[in-house]
Structure 1
Amino acid sequence: MADTYTQLYIQIVFSVKGRESLIKKAWKDELYAYIGGIITKQKSKSLAINGMPDHIHIFIGYNPVISIPNLVEEIKTSSNKFLKEKFKAFGFNWQKGYGAFSYSRSQIDPVIKYIGNQEMHHKTRTFKEEYIKMLNDFEINYQEQYLFDFQNISTWDN
């Protein structure tokens, strides 16, 4: 073929270091917009970004000009710096790992709705339960001791 064409949809999930509830409701929208800008700059398309005080879901139309690990690292590094400079969130850091899950075109709308309804989902399910369900649904082998450092704090109390 003379050119390269792709259609890739990826949901990226990661948490705040120590699973602390540090994403403040007052600035989460600005954080999500900033992350959307990073994704655009890396030639991918932001489809949905949302989360809870202790974790984030990012759904993208992925352009493989940058590897997923490099894209996640850019998102984490740049947004971490942004939060410290703009909101003086000096204790804020993202946790090291992440999950990345692929979807077909027919799943775009349900995934966007799922990500948009994070507060509702977490009234009945912890992030640990949500993440383990995702790993199981995608038949990903994992060892529980290497999952995130879970605490069961996921409310917008801060």
Structure 2
Amino acid sequence: MSWVRVYLHLVFSTKNREPFLNSSAIRKTIFQHIKKNAEEKGIWLDCINGYQDHAHCLISLGKEQTISKVAQLIKGESSFWINQNKLTSEKFVWQDDYWAVGVSESHLEAVRKYIHNQETHHSVNTFSEEIDSFMEKYGWTFTSEK
């Protein structure tokens, strides 16, 4: 029997960073649905939260799961569900890209706390500032795909 526990912090935004998730009620509804759907698909979604234009997930990958497949399953199904249930006045779309980084077991509680405190965090920092901070922390630079 295989035993795998690989955690990652996955972040993705709405297309063009549109503030579709502009109320705590809509965020709660959508994030609860994403958590339930992930469970049904065998995705271990430890926690999820976000703010007006993005979502943060703490995920433990299964032995046959890839980051891209998990992101596709979460984002694709939730976009479909949001539009089917007319939760936004305009067509809802997640941006194609995402950000993901591995999380060591010793940092799980800190990442959970960070994800759970998104509203407080974003009362001070914008999503752009948050991404810039991540880019600096992890030494990443923007690249263009050709």
- Structure 2 residue 82 is the aligned partner of structure 1 residue 83: yes
- Structure 2 residue 76 is the aligned partner of structure 1 residue 73: no
AA of the residue aligned to 2:122: H
Q: How many residues align?
A: 143
Q: Distance in 2 between matches of 1:82 and 1:23?
A: 14
Q: Distance in 1 between matches of 2:121 and 2:76?
A: 28
Q: Distance in 2 between matches of 1:135 and 1:43?
A: 30
- Structure 2 residue 12 is the aligned partner of structure 1 residue 45: no
* Alpha-carbon distance, 1:86 to partner: 1.5
TM-score w.r.t. structure 2 length? 0.88
Is this contact kept in 2: 1:42–1:71, CA < 8 A? Answer: no
Q: How does 1:9-158 map to 2 (within 5 A)?
A: 9-25=7-23, 26-89=25-88, 90-143=90-143
AA of the residue aligned to 2:107: Q
Q: Distance in 1 between matches of 2:101 and 2:76?
A: 21
TM-score w.r.t. structure 1 length? 0.82
Between 4-13 and 83-92, report the one with greater CA deviation. 83-92
SS at match of 2:2: coil
Is this contact kept in 2: 1:43–1:65, CA < 8 A? Answer: no
What is the aligned-residue RMSD (CA, Å)? 1.8
Q: Distance in 2 between matches of 1:51 and 1:69?
A: 20
Is this contact kept in 1: 2:2–2:63, CA < 8 A? Answer: no
Is this contact kept in 2: 1:15–1:56, CA < 8 A? Answer: yes
* Alpha-carbon distance, 1:88 to partner: 4.6
Is this contact kept in 2: 1:80–1:94, CA < 8 A? Answer: yes
Aligned-residue sequence identity (percent) comes to: 28
What 5-or-longer segments of structure 2 have no aligned partner?
Answer: none
